[in-house]
Amino acid sequence: MLTREQRIGAFFVVGVILLFVAIELTLGVGLFKRRYPLYATFRDVQGLDTGADVRLAGIKAGRVGGMQIERDRVRVKLLINGGLAVKKDSVARLDFRALSGERFVALTLGTPTATRT
């Protein structure tokens, strides 16, 4: 039979696991997804935040992992979901969500003959 402390400990562990599952299902944060990095450079990233969506042809494909200034440009790290392949001739641009005004990175599909990254 479990002691009172063991039951409290088990309840706590189950609660933490359920919290992580709820966050994943509700927010789609992707805590356990494998991602690979790609980089894009822009002149201006005003309004773009770390964690913003990356969309490939309108479909959520990852998130912005970070940004840093390099000379006169901003280098943006894109963390792409492991199951998706972005082609080498894909183009990245900054876009706005219509209602919220949030910025995100939009990637084009590229050409059918282009190799994948």
User: Span 85-105, mean pLDDT?
Assistant: 90
Q: What percent of the chain has pLDDT over 90?
A: 52
Q: How far apart are CA 40 and CA 78, in angstroms?
A: 7
pLDDT tens track for 54-78: 999 999 999 999 999 999 999 999 9
Select the more confidently predicted residue: 110 or 103: 103
DSSP 4-48: HHHHHHHHHHHHHHHHHHHHHHHH---TT--EEEEEEEES--TT-
